[in-house]
Amino acid sequence: MSAAKLRRRAQRDTFGNSFGVLLALAGSAVGLGNLWRFPYLVGQNGGAAFIILYLIFVALLGIPLMLSEFIIGRRSRANARGAFRTLAPGTRWDLTGFIAVLCCTLILSFYSVVGGWGIEYFYKALRFDFTMGLTGDLSTLFSGFTASTWRPLVCHTLFMLATGLIVAYGVKNGIERFSKVMMPLLFIIMIGIAVRSLTLDGAGAGIDYLFRPDWSKVTSHTVLDALGQAFFSLSLGSGMVITYASYVKAEANITKICINTAVADTVFALIAGCAIMPAVFAFAISPGEGPGLVFITLPYIFSQLPLGGVIALLFFLALLLAALTSSISILEVVVAFAIEELKLKRKTAVWLCMSFIWLLGCLCSLSLGRFGSELSLFGRSLFDLFDAISANVLMPLNAMLVVIFLGWKMGRGVIADELTNNGANNPPAWYTKSLYIIIRWLAPAAILAIALFQWLG
Ligand code: PHE
């Protein structure tokens, strides 16, 4: 390796310690996916049966896939594209990295718009709008707001600026420090809300719904939704784990980090379920309200609840924090690419990437309102289209290429090296062996089957 290359590598930022890595990874995983997407999918798919399928997918596919991305990132110590260039020089595997960067660009553009909605609702909660003075129907309020022109754009801009500011401070001083403070705070707030919800009269029906499976409600859609949610929630197939893992020190135990991240993410999803469903049942609202659950149903519940104003404030604060610790990880994928592949300084890279994604986000936001017909393609608004392309096409495609790359191109030796930290620790043989089989055979087959189902169905 040339001296210049060695120097550049030595200058790369790293996470401070394993706990910081865990909180940053969990911060990325825990986001709108847990607080907004998971509860409404549970509601639409009949409760406990969906949750059980989700848990199976997290354990059987999610964790091995996360480990695969981790291995690629830590071994190469490079951004999502550079990782493949380093591990398989002279091949076209680096396209996998381009897919990841494109995927994150699209995800962040609509994620930031939803984050902006979070800002608006937090502001409303600050003024105690939900418990006092709010007139009119909450559903019209929500659709009126999201379809308006300026307000959502201003909120999206604020959310994007906050994201960029944190990422500009770098991995250790920005991302790690922010996640270390915010994740415990988020945890405490969500536990508090869950306790309030669980102690409501009539909360029992909600708990039954969450934990007693009704298998008759399971359709092929439930299975697909559960798998898609497992991917989205663990941030898989987006290059995020590759990028973060590239900042992890060589002695970190990657099995432990990945399992802990998956457990933390799942615990958060379940806490969000416990915070929302018991209240939904206590107020006799249908749980299957869909994406509006958090922005329409919950504010209604807050308006009826004793101490509802304070709970609303805490809930939307939690939503914002969760969204921010995820959005910084999405931006970091694109920024790390710009720094290392386009040779830009971090600050320049952040400004450039942020501005471009901000612009796409503006188009997403406008596509939900006045410019709906101009800003739509194939009969979908740009907002929906970016969501669908990233979650249903680019993420599975990237995940598939990642496991094929690791299982077939890199092979068993590389996997064993990384799992054992080059022989320093000694996991049981069955573990390395079964992981290898999952990565080489099971995961690609499962992703392919599911993608085919989804695209053909
Ligand atoms: N996992 C995040 C969430 O649950 C979303 C995300 C997707 C983050 C892809 C990073 C990369 O909200």
Write the secondary structure of the chain as one string of H (helix), E (strand) and C (coil): CCHHHHHHHHCCCCCCCHHHHHHHHHHHHCCHHHHHHHHHHHHHCCCHHHHHHHHHHHHHHHHHHHHHHHHHHHHHCCCHHHHHHHHCCCCCCHHHHHHHHHHHHHHHHHHHHHHHHHHHHHHHHHCCCCCCCCCCCHHHHHHHHHHCCHHHHHHHHHHHHHHHHHHHCCHHHHHHHHHHHHHHHHHHHHHHHHHHHHCCCCCHHHHHHHHCCCHHHCCHHHHHHHHHHHHHHCCCCCCHHHHHHCCCCCCCCHHHHHHHHHHHHHHHHHHHHHHHHHHHHHCCCCCCCHHHHCCCHHHHHHHHCCCHHHHHHHHHHHHHHHHHHHHHHHHHHHHHHHHHHCCCCHHHHHHHHHHHHHHHHHHHHHCCCCCCCCCEECCEEHHHHHHHHHHHHHHHHHHHHHHHHHHHHHCHHHHHHHHCCCCCCCCCHHHHHHHHHHHHHHHHHHHHHHHHHHHHC
pLDDT value of position 8 = 52
As a whole number, mean pLDDT of residues 350-354 equals 98
The confidence band for 69, taking pLDDT boundaries of 50, 70 and 90, is very high
As a whole number, mean pLDDT of residues 181-206 equals 90
Probe residue for ligand 1, chosen from 233, 242, 337 as the CB with the greatest number of ligand atoms within 8 Å: 233
Ligand 1 close to Cβ of residue 443 (< 6 A)? no
Which residue has its alpha carbon closest to ligand 1 atom 7? 235
Dist. CA 258 → ligand 1 center (Å): 15
Q: Which of 40-44, 259-263, 301-305 has the highest mean pLDDT?
A: 259-263
pLDDT digits (tens, 9 = 90+) for 95-108: 999 999 999 999 99
Dist. CA 28 → ligand 1 center (Å): 6
Ligand 1 close to Cβ of residue 32 (< 6 A)? yes
Rounded CA-CA distance 172/20 in Å is: 8
pLDDT digits (tens, 9 = 90+) for 359-404: 999 999 999 988 887 888 888 899 989 988 888 789 989 999 999 9
Question: Above pLDDT 70, what percent of the chain?
Answer: 96
Q: Which of 234-243, 281-290, 312-321 has the highest mean pLDDT?
A: 234-243
Ligand 1 close to Cβ of residue 62 (< 6 A)? no
Q: Greater confidence, 411 or 223?
A: 411
Ligand 1 close to Cβ of residue 323 (< 6 A)? no
Per-residue tokens: 195: 């306790």
pLDDT value of position 176 = 92
Dist. CA 96 → ligand 1 center (Å): 18
CA contacts within 13 A on the Cβ side of 448: 10
Q: Greater confidence, 287 or 261?
A: 261
Q: Is the pLDDT of residue 148 over 60?
A: yes
Probe residue for ligand 1, chosen from 117, 243, 330 as the CB with the greatest number of ligand atoms within 8 Å: 330
Q: Is the pLDDT of residue 81 over 80?
A: yes
Q: Is the pLDDT of residue 269 over 90?
A: yes
The confidence band for 130, taking pLDDT boundaries of 50, 70 and 90, is confident
CA contacts within 13 A on the Cβ side of 134: 23
Judge whether 401 and 233 are in contact, CB under 8 Å.
no
pLDDT value of position 10 = 47
Atom number in ligand 1 closest to CA 31? 12
Q: Is the pLDDT of residue 179 over 50?
A: yes
pLDDT value of position 435 = 94
